[in-house]
């Protein structure tokens, strides 16, 4: 694991004097997908990398321990054995980075991960996910419950109200308290970008979260109307880069919400490579939060290996 970001004092002047130019962000984001294409064995290699960085997610009101355990089976063995064998023996060891579940489902996920020698992590969403509209005391209790249940990573949501009202000191204090409640569990801070109103607010909330000790910043819960988009991702990566330049600490990035196709995952990998560099292209510093992405990646790898697309029954999801 990379050295954790300990955070730093809140630099309010830096936060309040930061502005984002929307047209230039849009222009740069548009070049990302047009400037680089990866094909054939290189594409297969990138897709395998995407799998290792995936937080395989189920966050449904109808989740049960049964479907969480099936998801964990997929986390431990993301590809069908024969596809895996054709891609090389080393892929037998391939797992996703983590499974991501609600706090009440953590014990089942932890038990399943233990049976797979903890080759992947167990992440829990917390702090009044997805809205964060609850008292701080209960939000912190949720973190403690998930950590006590064995979660190794906690995906917390910020209080968007504070960000929208530019109450940066209060937001900083809340995220600091969340980091303390997480203890040794790594903390991913979800900004809920679709509800932040502007890219400038996204940049400022990114900075404040990192100053307060985020190990990762994450775009979305998957429940907002707008989730992970490349322009928003670009702004967050620039914030991560600027924070690293000033403090020397590396913070990870997790786009999440609406990432469904292998092509989407390649675009996100290109963004990371171009904006943060190869150093960020691993599960310690990059995650893709997704519930259905793996299905399409497996489908594309099946095509790479066999030359044809699989019928639905050939690649059943758990």
Ligand X SMILES: O=C[C@H](O)COP(=O)(O)O
Neighbours of 142 (CB within 10 A): 22
Q: x/- contact string, 256-295, with ligand X (CB under 6 A)?
A: xxxx-----------------------------xxxx---
**Closest CB 129 distance from ligand X, rounded Å:** 9
Does residue 100 bind ligand X (CB under 6 A)?
A: yes
Q: Say which of 218, 223, 263, 273 is annotated catalytic.
A: 218
What is the rounded CA–CA span in Å between residue 215 and residue 43? 29
Q: Looking at 36-44, 143-151, 200-208, 252-260, which segment touches ligand X (CB under 6 A)?
A: 252-260
Does residue 222 bind ligand X (CB under 6 A)?
A: yes
**Closest CB 293 distance from ligand X, rounded Å:** 7
Interface with ligand X (CB under 6 A), residue total 13
CB-nearer residue toward ligand X: 175 or 290:
290
**Closest CB 233 distance from ligand X, rounded Å:** 14
**Closest CB 227 distance from ligand X, rounded Å:** 6
Q: Looking at 142-150, 160-168, 207-215, 250-258, which segment touches ligand X (CB under 6 A)?
A: 250-258
* Whole-Å CA distances, 258 to 34, 163, 265: 21, 23, 11
Among positions 162-181, residues that touch ligand X (CB under 6 A) are none
Does residue 194 bind ligand X (CB under 6 A)?
A: no
SS (H, E, C) the chain: CCCCCCCCCCCHHHHHCCCCCHHHHHHHHHHHHHHCCCCHHHHHHHHHHHHHCEEEECCCCCCCHHHHHHHHHHHHCCCCHHHHHHHCHHHHHCCCCEEEECHHHHHHHHHHHHHCCCCCEEEEEECCCCCCCCCHHHHHHHHHHHHHCCCCEEEEECCHHHHHCCCHHHHHHHHHHHHHHHCCCEEEEECCHHHCCCHHHHHHHHHHHHHCCCCEEECCCCCCCCCCCHHHHHHHHHHHHHHHHHHCCCCEEECECCCCCHHHHHHHHHHHHHHCCHHHCCCCCECEEECCHHHHHHHHHHHHHHCCCCCHHHCCCC
| Residue at shortest CB range from ligand X | 222
CB-nearer residue toward ligand X: 228 or 251:
228
Could you tell me if 177 and 211 are in contact, meaning their C-beta atoms sit under 8 angstroms apart? no
Q: Say which of 39, 74, 254, 273 is annotated catalytic.
A: 254
Among positions 125-144, residues that touch ligand X (CB under 6 A) are none
CB-nearer residue toward ligand X: 7 or 192:
192
273 is catalytic: no
**Closest CB 2 distance from ligand X, rounded Å:** 21
Among positions 45-64, residues that touch ligand X (CB under 6 A) are 57, 59
**Closest CB 130 distance from ligand X, rounded Å:** 8
Catalytic residue ranges: 218, 254
- Residue ranges in contact with ligand X by CB under 6 A: 57, 59, 100, 221-222, 256-259, 289-292
């Amino acid at each position: 694991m990379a050295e954790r970001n300990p955070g730093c004092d809140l630099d309010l002047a830096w936060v309040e004097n930061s502005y984002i130019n929307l047209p230039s962000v849009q222009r740069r984001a548009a070049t990302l997908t047009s400037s680089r294409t990866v094909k054939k064995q290189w594409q297969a290699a990138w897709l395998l990398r995407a799998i290792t960085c995936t937080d395989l997610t189920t966050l449904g009101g109808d989740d049960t321990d049964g479907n969480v355990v099936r998801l964990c089976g997929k986390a431990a063995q993301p590809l069908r054995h024969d596809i895996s064998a054709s891609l090389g023996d080393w892929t037998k060891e391939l797992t996703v980075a983590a499974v991501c579940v609600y706090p009440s489902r953590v014990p089942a996920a932890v038990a399943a991960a233990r049976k797979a020698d903890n080759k992947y992590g167990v992440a829990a969403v917390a702090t009044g996910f997805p809205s964060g509209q609850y008292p701080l005391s209960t939000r912190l209790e949720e973190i403690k419950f998930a950590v006590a249940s064995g979660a190794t990573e906690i995906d917390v949501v910020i209080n968007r109200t504070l960000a929208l009202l530019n109450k940066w000191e209060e937001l900083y204090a809340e995220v600091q308290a969340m980091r303390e409640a997480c203890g040794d569990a790594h903390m991913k801070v979800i900004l809920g970008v679709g509800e932040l109103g502007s890219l400038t607010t996204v940049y400022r909330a990114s900075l404040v979260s990192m100053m307060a000790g985020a190990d990762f910043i994450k775009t979305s819960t998957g429940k907002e109307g707008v989730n992970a988009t490349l322009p928003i991702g670009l702004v967050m990566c620039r914030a991560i880069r600027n924070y690293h330049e000033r403090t020397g600490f590396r913070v990870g990035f997790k786009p999440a919400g609406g990432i469904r196709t292998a092509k989407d995952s390649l675009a996100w990998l290109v963004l990371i490579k171009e904006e943060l560099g190869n150093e960020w292209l691993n599960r310690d510093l990059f995650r893709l939060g997704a519930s259905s992405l793996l299905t399409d990646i497996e489908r594309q790898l099946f095509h790479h290996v066999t030359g044809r697309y699989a019928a639905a029954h050939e690649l059943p999801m758990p």
